[in-house]
Amino acid sequence: MFSLFALSGGATWVDNVDMAANVLKIGQRNHQSNKLHDGKSAFIKRDILKSQSWFKSREPYDLIVLDPPPYQKKAFRGWQDYLKLLRYAQHGLKPGGTLLCCLNHPQISIDQFMADLDEYFDGKATLEVIARAPEIEELENEKGLKLVIVTL
């Protein structure tokens, strides 16, 4: 979904990386449905947590979206793996690049997420919360999706 917005907003290239083939197929269908399948994107099946050398071999990005699952047995283990994603992403950004950090973990509040990000970046990044649109309601506001823009 993020790649649709990126291309619609003028991105010249988007890499969609996921370890689940079905997620990538859904992304490809979304691109086709929205007439955004004109060779400006790639759908790459890869476990990014085991791909540091691959990540380093790519051209640096202006923007990286981190949107992992909150927890997957044997695949993604919460904050420990999120830190690994942050390290890889930080090295994959152009100077002055931006991260969109998403977290959909019900036990971590937005305040805790912001504090953890600020600690990770040692206070040297600008953090901005993206507020949820008023028409999107959460049953328990603090337990829903958290979105933070990190500018390095």
CATH of the domain at 144: 3.40.50.150
Q: In terms of domains, do 84 and 20 share one?
A: no
Residue ranges with strand state E in 1-145: 14-18, 41-45, 61-66, 93-103, 126-129
Check residues 97 and 139 and name the one with the higher pLDDT.
97
Q: In terms of domains, do 94 and 24 share one?
A: no
* Domain of 89, in residue numbers: 47-151
Q: In terms of domains, do 110 and 66 share one?
A: yes
Q: In terms of domains, do 107 and 147 share one?
A: yes
Domain count, the chain: 2
79 pLDDT tier (thresholds 50, 70, 90): confident
CA distance 56 to 49: 12
Whether this prediction's pTM lies above 0.95 is answered by: no
Q: In terms of domains, do 131 and 72 share one?
A: yes
Q: In terms of domains, do 2 and 31 share one?
A: yes
CA distance 48 to 25: 18
* Burial class (CB within 10 angstroms; exposed 0-12, middle 13-18, buried 19+) of 144: middle
Q: In terms of domains, do 38 and 72 share one?
A: no
Q: Supply the mean pLDDT for the chain.
A: 90
DSSP 8-state code for residue 133: P
71 pLDDT tier (thresholds 50, 70, 90): low
91 has pLDDT over 90: no
The residues pairing with 128 across neighbouring beta strands, listed in sequence order, are 149
Q: Which of 10-14, 37-41, 46-50 is predicted with the least confidence, judged by mean pLDDT?
A: 37-41
- Among 14, 30, 45, the domain boundary falls at 45
Q: In terms of domains, do 99 and 145 share one?
A: yes
